[in-house]
């Protein structure tokens, strides 16, 4: 039965889900509440199997787009509703009219005292048009008007109003097959209404699936013609052609038609048509179509055809990112979407090349974005210049201290150095280079103090960063497998980023956990939590190699063996002879740790029944959900044993045995959602809804009401996503605690000091309160303050007045220069010399 429920959930998702970021959840009091969580087929599958109830919002988030209309008829008599009479008086006139006019519909018994009539569209339509269609239909059935204009029957229309500006998500209707607390299960039916009693049988699920399979979707333009309405402006096609090369033109319709011949693009356009596009769909289309013409007009016009389009936002995003993303090979595209590639496609071809070839143009030559005399063109993710750009970005986003010497080196890589790097990599790829030709050099180590431990952070030298990242990307490209976690997923198509944004990745991880913890019908599942202790320190690459050896091809083995050799040499130097562990900081180490953890989890799950559990992982933060107690304990024990065999110790203070979700206390829920650190409440984005000023203030007050500050929150609060009011309030309330802290992460301190140093009034405030003088000089805190000052000065973002004030009142003759590390002293002296001190 699990299979048919899974298929049914997928079909229901395709037909009814419009808003993929919000759903109405029935609380224990029977009322429905909006929850901003990912709306997925998996969520609907659990609703079906756990007798849950969810409401689907009609309106796509923050747009006027809908994809269905609904007539919701109810018996006003709650105790003894007469459904047959309701059907005879209200439903029959409506479906007779629809049938007569060849308008297709679905009938649904609400499970209690009502019947829904749905009309589904093949594409998004405006809410205004949907409202007009509903009222046009009702106005043409006078006998129906007489039926509902009394105290016995009620009718709710969806949409109920033409305007959408005051309603963020629109009204909600229960998903078909929901279980209402005060009634029974809703279900679809054909013909006249008959009560069904087998609503938990496999035959019932098969019948429901067949009804959904048979339903025909309406074309809005044709429907308006049937109802003698004016043709909707939204469906008037724009047949515009753009020049994609000298003398050759192509229309958006041709682009969509040609690309839709390919499964992966056909699925993308289908999701976009339904308003269910995934995050990566945008980047795939940007990389594939962004360079078809000189100004991105084709891409803009194509996106204009789909719901959720905002012209100014889309133009700005294309302008900012068009040069950053490149066409992905079919091999990579089918990997990230987990699809089986057609035999007719070439693995190394891109959608861009296919499109031009299909249109009769010559296959474009692959050339470097920036021409140089070294090396041939390689895919965007292994080109040295792009790797350098990505490394510069990664250094800024990472938790390490940014050594000025290393950053300056990345800013000024000579052609001769590029030649050396390219020469080594080409020989390594050709099996002509012994590993010891390139050993660790130029790296820096730092101690990062935390509340219960001290970590050794490693910043690789310029050359080692470039080489190890290039080899790591080559290895992953050859391996073609990836890892099942939310952390450190490689962004192959980006020209500037090695990994997908940590902020959005962590946000997705938390929202998936929320699906289980904040939906009542999920509370019969079991949850366990596993936290690994100092995971990076215990990664043994010899074990990793043994685990992966059978999965790697010869090229991937070669690249892995080099990284393992390099890592062994580095760790032995850092640790005085011990090779075990990977450094916390370098990009290659992040990936090797992910491979290690992923392979352990995958091996453990081999003997587990699929569909009975779900493992969510962000690095070493692991949450396991299971359908039943037996599966929960079996999987928990297997994971614990698997990590023990891999010599990965548990953090016993945080690891929790399986418990039924309904039985866990609020503190445990908060810890699973990391509410004790940061729960994204200081953010206004597509998931939070539009926040009024008083709502923003309430969130800020709630989050900043404690007397102590958790230093790990710096990166979140001072990210580009958070409310600026919260950033100011945090400074005034906790600035002293932050600046005197000897523990914390480099990224957080950098974000904080960027915010402070670029605002002169905050610098004065900190000086008057003696906060600068309290910064401990032998810590990551001070090192990042000085490095941030240096970079802001170098980029022209720090005013001379602020620098002079800091040199007079802080870095003056009373400052203990003798306590500085050599790296920090060099940076301070460089700043002082620049300003004649």
Is residue 707 classed exposed, middle or buried when 0-12, 13-18 and 19+ CB atoms within 10 A define those classes? exposed
CA dist., res. 831 & res. 829, Å (int): 5
Percent residues over pLDDT 70 in the chain: 86
pTM, full prediction: 0.74
pLDDT digits (tens, 9 = 90+) for 582-626: 998 899 999 999 999 999 999 999 888 887 899 999 999 999 999
Q: Which residue has the tokens 């990566």?
A: 280
Mean pLDDT of 781-798: 90
User: Residue range 561-574: average pLDDT?
Assistant: 93
Cα atoms in the Cβ-side hemisphere of radius 13 Å centred on 346: 8
DSSP secondary structure code for residue 260 in this structure: T
d(CA 108, CA 639): 44
Taking the alpha carbons at both ends of the chain, their separation in whole angstroms is 78
Report the pLDDT value the prediction gives residue 467, as an integer from 0 to 100.
Answer: 94
pLDDT at residue 283 tops 90: no
Dist CA 767 CA 761 (whole Å): 10
Pairing of strands 242-245, 23-26: unpaired
Which pLDDT does position 309 carry in this prediction? 58
The C-alpha atoms of residue 697 and residue 680 are separated, in whole angstroms, by 14
Cα–Cα distances (Å) from 300 to 137, 274, 572, 653, in that order, read 35, 18, 53, 52
Query: pLDDT for 12-49, tens place per residue?
Result: 999 999 888 889 998 877 888 888 888 989 899 999 99
Residue 511 neighbours by CB under 8 Å, 6+ apart: 36, 37, 38, 687
Within 13 A of 257's CA, how many CA atoms are on the CB side? 7
| 324 confidence band (pLDDT: 50, 70, 90) | low
Q: Is the pLDDT of residue 62 over 70?
A: no
Instruction: Give the pair of three-digit tokens for residue 134.
Output: 């509903």
197 with 206: CB under 8 angstroms? no
The pair phi, psi for residue 323, each rounded to 5°, is -85, -5
Residue 234, pLDDT > 70, answer: no
Most confident residue range from 306-315, 403-412, 481-490: 481-490
> Which whole number is the average pLDDT over 803-826?
89
Task: Determine the Cα–Cα distance for residues 549 and 542; give it in Å rounded to an integer.
Answer: 10
pLDDT per residue over 116-162, tens digit each?
A: 999 999 988 989 999 999 999 999 998 887 667 678 899 999 998 88
Structure tokens at 237: 């096609």
Q: Given pLDDT bands bounded at 50, 70 and 90, which one contains residue 703?
A: low
Q: What is the structure's pLDDT at 238?
A: 30
Note the pLDDT of residue 356: 84
Name the phi and psi angles at 400, rounded to 5: -75, 165
Q: What tens digit of pLDDT does each residue of 284-294 get?
A: 888 888 777 77
- 301 contacts: CB under 8 Å, gap ≥ 6: 238, 240, 242, 252
pLDDT, residue 708, reads 67
Rounded CA-CA distance 693/350 in Å is 46
Range 32-57 burial, b when 16+ CB lie within 10 A, else e: bebbbbbbbbbbbbbbbbbbbbbbbb
- Largest Cα–Cα distance in the chain? 93
Question: Using one digit for the tens of pLDDT, what is the confidence trace for 453-501?
Answer: 677 788 899 999 999 999 999 998 887 777 889 999 998 777 788 998 8
Q: Taking 60 as the threshold, does the pLDDT of residue 686 lie above it? A: no
Burial class (CB in 10 A: 0-12, 13-18, 19+), 358: middle
Cβ-in-10-Å burial (0-12, 13-18, 19+) of 789 comes to buried
355-367 residue pLDDT tens: 888 887 766 655 4
Query: Residue 713: pLDDT above 90?
Result: no
User: pLDDT category, 164, cuts 50, 70, 90?
Assistant: low
Residue 189 vs residue 36, higher pLDDT: 189
Rounded CA gap, 121 and 218, in Å? 5
Is pLDDT of 776 > 70?
yes
Own/partner long-range contacts of 443-446 (Cβ < 8 Å, ≥24 apart): 443/570, 444/401, 444/403, 444/406, 444/823, 445/574, 446/400, 446/401, 446/780, 446/783
pLDDT band at 632; cut points 50, 70, 90: very high
> Over the stretch 415-425, which tens digit does the pLDDT of each residue have?
888 888 888 88
pLDDT of residue 689: 43
* Sole residue written with tokens 């901003």: 36
Say what the pLDDT of residue 380 is: 33
Do residues 214 and 105 make contact, with C-beta atoms less than 8 angstroms apart? Answer: no
Model confidence at 369: pLDDT above 50:
no
Q: 């009401």: which residue's tokens?
A: 705
- At residue 399, what are phi and psi to the nearest 5 degrees? -85, -5
φ, ψ of residue 29 to 5 degrees: the values are -90, 0
- DSSP string across 367-412: --SS--SSS----GGG-HHHHHHHHHHHHHHSSS---HHHHHHHHT
Instruction: Give the separation between CA 253 and CA 258, rounded to whole angstroms.
Output: 9
> Scanning the structure block, which residue is given the tokens 């992953």?
476
Is 237's pLDDT higher than 50?
Answer: no
Phi, psi of 57 (to 5 degrees): -80, 135
Question: What integer best gives the mean pLDDT of the chain?
Answer: 84
Q: CA 757, CA 804: separation in Å to the nearest integer?
A: 12
Residue 493 DSSP symbol:
T
Q: Which two tokens stand for residue 773?
A: 């003088």
Distance between CA 640 and CA 217 in Å, rounded? Answer: 50
DSSP state of 337: T
CA distance 607 to 604: 7
Which of the four pLDDT bands, split at 50, 70 and 90, describes residue 308? low
**What is the model's pLDDT at position 236?**
38
């Amino acid at each position: 039965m699990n299979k048919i429920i899974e298929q049914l959930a997928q079909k229901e998702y395709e037909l009814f889900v419009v808003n993929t970021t919000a759903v109405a959840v029935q609380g224990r009091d029977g009322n429905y509440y909006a929850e901003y969580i990912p709306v997925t087929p998996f969520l609907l599958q659990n609703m079906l199997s756990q007798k849950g109830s969810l409401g689907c919002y009609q309106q796509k988030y923050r747009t006027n787009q809908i994809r269905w209309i609904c007539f919701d008829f109810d018996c006003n008599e709650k105790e003894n509703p007469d459904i047959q009479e309701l059907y005879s008086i209200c439903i029959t006139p409506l479906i007779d009219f629809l049938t007569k006019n060849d308008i297709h519909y679905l009938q649904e018994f609400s499970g209690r005292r009502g019947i829904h009539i749905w009309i589904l569209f093949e594409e998004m339509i405006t809410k205004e048009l949907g409202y007009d269609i509903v009222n046009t239909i009702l106005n043409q059935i006078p006998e129906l008007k007489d039926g509902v204009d009394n105290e016995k029957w009620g009718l709710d229309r969806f949409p109920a109003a033409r305007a959408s500006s005051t309603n963020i998500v629109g009204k909600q209707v229960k998903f078909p097959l929901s279980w209402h607390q005060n009634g029974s299960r809703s279900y679809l039916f054909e013909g006249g209404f008959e009560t069904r009693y087998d609503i938990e049988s496999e035959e019932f699920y098969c019948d429901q699936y067949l009804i959904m399979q048979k339903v025909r979707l309406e074309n809005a333009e044709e429907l308006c013609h049937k109802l003698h309405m004016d043709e909707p402006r939204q469906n008037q096609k724009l047949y515009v052609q753009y020049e994609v090369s000298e003398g050759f033109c192509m229309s958006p319709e041709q682009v969509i038609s040609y690309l839709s011949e390919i499964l992966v693009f056909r699925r993308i356009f289908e999701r976009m048509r339904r308003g269910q596009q995934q995050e990566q769909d945008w980047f795939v289309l940007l990389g594939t179509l962004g360079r078809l013409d000189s100004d991105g007009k084709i891409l803009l016009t194509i996106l204009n055809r789909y719901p959720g389009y905002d012209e100014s936002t889309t133009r700005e995003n294309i302008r900012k990112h068009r040069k950053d993303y490149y066409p992905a090979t079919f091999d990579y595209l089918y990997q990230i979407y987990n699809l089986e590639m057609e035999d007719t496609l070439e693995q190394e071809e891109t959608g861009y090349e296919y499109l031009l070839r299909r249109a009769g143009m010559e296959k474009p030559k692959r050339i470097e974005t920036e021409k140089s005399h070294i090396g041939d063109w390689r895919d965007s993710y292994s080109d040295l210049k792009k790797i350098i750009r990505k490394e510069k970005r990664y250094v800024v986003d990472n938790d390490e201290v940014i050594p000025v010497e290393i950053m300056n080196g990345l800013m000024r890589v000579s052609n001769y150095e590029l030649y050396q790097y390219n020469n080594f990599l080409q020989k390594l790829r050709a099996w002509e280079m012994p590993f010891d030709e390139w050993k660790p050099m130029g790296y820096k180590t730092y101690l990062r103090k935390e509340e219960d431990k001290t970590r050794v952070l490693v910043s690789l030298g310029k050359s080692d960063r470039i080489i190890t990242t290039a080899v790591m990307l080559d290895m992953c490209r050859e391996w073609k497998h990836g890892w099942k976690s939310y952390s450190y997923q490689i962004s192959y198509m980006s020209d500037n980023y090695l990994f997908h944004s940590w902020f959005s990745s962590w946000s997705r991880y938390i929202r998936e956990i929320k699906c289980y913890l904040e939906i009542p019908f999920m509370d019969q599942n079991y949850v366990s939590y596993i936290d690994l202790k100092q995971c990076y320190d215990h990664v043994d690459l010899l074990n990793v190699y043994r685990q992966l050896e059978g999965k790697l091809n010869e090229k991937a083995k070669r690249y892995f063996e080099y990284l393992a050799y390099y890592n062994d040499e580095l760790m032995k130097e850092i640790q005085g002879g011990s090779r075990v562990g990977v450094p916390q900081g370098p990009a290659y180490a992040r990936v090797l740790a992910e491979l290690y953890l992923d392979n352990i989890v995958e091996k453990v799950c081999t003997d587990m029944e699929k569909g009975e559990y779900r493992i969510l992982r962000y690095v070493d933060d692991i949450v396991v959900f299971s359908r039943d107690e037996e599966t929960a304990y079996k999987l928990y024990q297997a994971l614990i044993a698997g990590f023990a065999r891999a010599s990965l110790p548990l953090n016993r203070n945080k690891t929790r045995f399986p418990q039924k979700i309904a039985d866990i206390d609020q503190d445990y829920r908060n810890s699973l959602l990391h509410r004790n650190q940061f729960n994204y409440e200081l953010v206004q984005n597509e998931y939070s809804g539009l926040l009024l000023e008083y709502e923003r203030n309430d969130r800020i007050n709630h989050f900043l009401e404690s007397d102590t500050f958790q230093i790990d929150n710096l990166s979140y609060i001072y990210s580009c996503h958070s409310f600026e009011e919260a950033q100011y309030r945090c400074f005034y309330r906790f600035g002293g605690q932050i600046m005197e802290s000897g523990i914390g992460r480099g990224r957080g301190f950098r974000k904080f000091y960027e915010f402070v140093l670029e605002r002169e009034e905050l610098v004065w405030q900190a000086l008057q309160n003696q906060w600068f003088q309290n910064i401990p000089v032998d810590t990551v805190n001070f090192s990042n303050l000085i490095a941030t000052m240096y970079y802001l000065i170098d980029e022209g973002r720090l005013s001379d007045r602020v620098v002079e004030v800091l040199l007079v009142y802080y870095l003056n003759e009373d400052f203990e220069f003798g306590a500085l590390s050599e790296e920090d002293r060099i940076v301070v002296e460089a700043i002082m010399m620049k300003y004649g001190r």
